[in-house]
Amino acid sequence: MTWTADQPIVKIFDVHKSFGKTEVLKGVSMDVAAGEVVCIIGPSGSGKSTLLRCINALAVIDQGSVQVEGQEVHDPDLDQLALRRKVGMVFQQYNLFPHKTALQNVMMAPLHVLGEKRGDVEARARELMRKVRLAGKENHYPGELSGGQQQRVAIARSLAMRPDIMLFDEVTAALDPETVKEVLVTIRDLALEGMTCILVTHEMGFAREVADHVYFTDHGVIVEHGPPEILFSQPQDPRTKEFLSHVL
Amino acid sequence: MTQSLLRRWILLLPLVSLVLALPHEALAAPGQPGILASLLKWTPLIFKGFLLNLLASVLSMALGTLFGAFLGLAQISPNRLVAKSAWAVTQFFRNAPWLVLLFYTVLLIPFEIGISGGVIPLPDTAKAILGLALPVMGNVSEIVRGAVQSVPSGQWESAQALAFTRRQTLWMIILPQCLKRMLPPWMNLYAVLTMATPLISIVGVEEAMTMTRAALAAENRSELLVPMYGMLLVWFYLYCAPIAAWTKRLEMRFGVKA
Ligand SMILES: Nc1ncnc2c1ncn2[C@@H]1O[C@H](COP(=O)(O)OP(=O)(O)O)[C@@H](O)[C@H]1O
Ligand SMILES: [Mg+2]
């Protein structure tokens, strides 16, 4: 069975996942079409990060299925590295490599993972630094950059692998309010270019603006989902209403 | 800052040894050479022994670091069995008395080994160096493990998400960040090792301690005991104290505690 672009690029079906005795995901299903922007919202501890981590096999599921471009992620024969080359991920804590400059951070994976030529990689990395509006900061170390700047380097680093899908896990949660916007603008640009994005976020205004589809999770299940204009203005489930009343 | 400290030491320590030696000078029996003269006479011989201490410290450290690095990496292996065995070996050599390890090595290793026809002699000095390298190995292994585990897990995670293999992550991302953290405890270990090298006199290596004892036996003058051992102390102090000071400076600069 070969995957074609009219099928969901990410297909999550009835995923269960436990840590020890606590079941963190209790049968989650979700389809994401290519080019779509999906936001996952919900209280902390509801399993949002775990769900994202199942998509690039950072976490292993106990039951159900996760398919990326038609390939079962949890097939023991799957080449995990090949999967991760297609799926980029950006974390709340940026996790830049502190001993490398911004540019080196962006160049490392294409050089050593993809084995591309240094000249090509460097040109692309510089272009990406411009794209995340950080031209001129190439030779700065992460410690010399603000949180928002580090996070944009992290986004550029992920994009340097030319992924088909980007995962963002509360990437603005650790930032000062002033720098949140610059990161959101970067992500919005990406979304507008047609990158498939799955983001966990607490920025409801942003979710409403960029998302094609919003999922609300609570206690390991998807309580409710729909287009943002419907989910945010006419939530059906009492839990969704309760949550939105706190965050909107 | 190190420069001025160093100068102070170098000025201070001969003074200390003189103070140690002077009261004994008066004790020199009539008709015998003075204490200082006797010290000077034996200094070249004892100093040659001292160089052997330093050589042993450098070689033991090199060997111990090499083995210890492997053992430390084995401790963080994803293979449970490898990790557990490496942990056990590390604990054993870290917690064994150095002297006992030294005796064991010297006694257990034959004085020569035959490899494909040829015979390689193993002098006591080589065995003693190996004996000291064992506890160094245990300690280096812990230094490596501790430093690797002190790197935030987010570093592993983001490397994984970028499709780096485990090996690449370790060598390109984790270990380069650890080197700084490992340096101060490693230097500390080296100073401790150097101070422990007189142990090898017990297994018959002709290092500074052995030479001092030989000199004292030849002179057979009790008033020489304190000045001669004092001189040895001063030499070790002069060699090790700057290392300790430098370690402290690095610790402060990197913001780590040994
Ligand atoms: N590696 C782990 N080991 C044990 N428990 C975990 C682990 N990761 C997450 N959890 C638990 O799983 C639950 C869901 O976590 P998470 O997916 O991070 O939620 P969210 O991102 O929605 O805040 C939490 O109760 C958390 O404590
Ligand atoms: Mg989370």
Best substitution site from A50, A170, A217 to test ligand 1's pocket, by max atoms within 8 Å of Cβ?
Answer: A50
- B27 C-alpha to center of ligand 2: Å? 79
Pairing of β A213-218 and β A196-200? unpaired
- A43 C-alpha to center of ligand 2: Å? 9
A158 — contact with chain B (CB < 8 Å)? yes
Give the list of residues 6+ apart from residue B139 with CB closer than 8 angstroms, or none.
B64, B68, B94, B189
Nearest CA to ligand 1 atom 4: A19
Contact B168 A154 (CB under 8 A): no
Q: Is the CB of A67 under 6 A from ligand 1?
A: no
Count CA atoms closer than 13 A to B202's CA, side-chain side. Answer: 16
Here the CATH number for the domain that contains residue B24 is 1.10.3720.10
Best substitution site from A17, A19, A92, A216 to test ligand 1's pocket, by max atoms within 8 Å of Cβ?
Answer: A19
Q: B14 or B214: which carries more pLDDT confidence?
A: B214
At A183 the pLDDT is 93
- The alpha-carbon gap from A84 to the nearest alpha carbon of chain B, in Å, equals 5
Burial of A33 (0-12, 13-18, 19+ CB in 10 A): middle
Q: Is the pLDDT of residue A103 over 90?
A: yes
Q: Which of A82, A95, A157 lies closest to B157 in CB terms? A: A95
Q: Is the CB of A201 under 6 A from ligand 1?
A: no
The token pair at B235 is 């030499």
At B1 the pLDDT is 46
Residue whose entry in the numeric block shows the structure tokens 């024969």: A77
Contact A157 B157 (CB under 8 A): no
Per-residue pLDDT tens for B121-156? 788 899 999 999 999 999 999 999 999 999 999 999
Per-residue pLDDT tens for B48-66? 999 999 999 999 999 999 9
Contact A84 B173 (CB under 8 A): no
Q: In three state form, how does the secondary structure of chain B look? A: CHHHHHHHHHHHHHHHHHHHHHHHHCCCCCCCCCHHHHHHHHHHHHHHHHHHHHHHHHHHHHHHHHHHHHHHHHHCCCCHHHHHHHHHHHHHHHHCCHHHHHHHHHHHCCCEEEECCEEEECCHHHHHHHHHHHHHHHHHHHHHHHHHHCCCHHHHHHHHHCCCCHHHHHHHHHHHHHHHHHHHHHHHHHHHHHHHHHHHHHHCCCCHHHHHHHHHHHHCCHHHHHHHHHHHHHHHHHHHHHHHHHHHHHHHHHCCCC
- Cβ contacts below 8 Å, chain A against chain B, sum to 54
Which residues span the domain enclosing B160?
3-254
Report the residue of chain A nearest B152, measured CA to CA: A95
Q: Chain B residues contacting A, CB < 8 Å?
A: 152, 154-155, 157-165, 168, 172-173, 176-177
Burial B186-207 (b: 16+ CB within 10 A, else e): bbbbbbbbbebbbbbbebebbb
Ligand 1 atom at shortest distance from the alpha carbon of A20: 4
Q: How many domains does chain B have?
A: 1
Angle in degrees, CA B61, B79, A68, rounded to 5:
125
Count CA atoms closer than 13 A to B19's CA, side-chain side. Answer: 6
Name the average pLDDT for chain A.
94
What mean pLDDT do residues A191-211 have?
94
A15 — contact with chain B (CB < 8 Å)? no
- B162 C-alpha to center of ligand 1: Å? 22
Per-residue pLDDT tens for A133-147? 999 999 999 999 999
